[in-house]
């Protein structure tokens, strides 16, 4: 899901989409809020519908686009710490999960799939115990 807001030291701010006016950006947020309200669910009820914090499978990892995932390191790797990393699909291949940024196109590390499950794990969101 594309975020329309961001949390900052000032509270919550609108994420501006370039090429849109302030009114158009505000309208995007209003339409998203209306779609959410149409569900009739609270945020807590929605969270119960979301998949559990199970680690992603290798197949799910390989199928990801430039998505952010929570990487939990079970062993020290490249002085990296557990946290959110973006997959760099333009570099990733069948053997390696490259992490970096899609814009600008930049790789900051790579994690061999052969180490998945005993050196590192990936989750859609930060697990409760992480």
Q: Interior CA angle at 61 toward 63 and 88, to 5°?
A: 80
Global pTM reads 0.56
Q: What is the pLDDT along the chain (130 residues), one digit of tens a residue?
A: 677 787 777 778 887 777 778 888 888 888 888 988 998 988 778 777 776 678 999 888 888 877 888 889 998 877 788 888 888 777 767 788 888 755 555 667 788 889 999 999 999 888 776 4
Strand partners, 12: 7
Q: How far apart are CA 38 and CA 44, in angstroms?
A: 15
């Amino acid at each position: 899901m594309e975020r329309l807001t961001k949390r900052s030291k000032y509270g919550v701010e609108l994420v501006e989409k370039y090429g849109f006016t302030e009114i158009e950006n505000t309208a995007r947020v209003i339409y998203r809020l209306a779609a959410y309200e149409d569900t009739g669910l609270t945020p807590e009820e929605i969270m119960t519908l979301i998949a559990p914090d199970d680690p992603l499978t290798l197949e799910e990892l390989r199928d990801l686009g430039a998505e952010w995932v929570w990487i939990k390191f079970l062993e020290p790797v490249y002085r990296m710490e557990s946290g959110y990393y973006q997959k760099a699909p333009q570099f990733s291949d069948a053997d390696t999960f490259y992490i970096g940024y899609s814009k600008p196109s930049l790789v900051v590390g790579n994690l061999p799939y052969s180490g998945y499950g005993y050196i590192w794990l990936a989750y859609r969101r930060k697990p409760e115990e992480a």
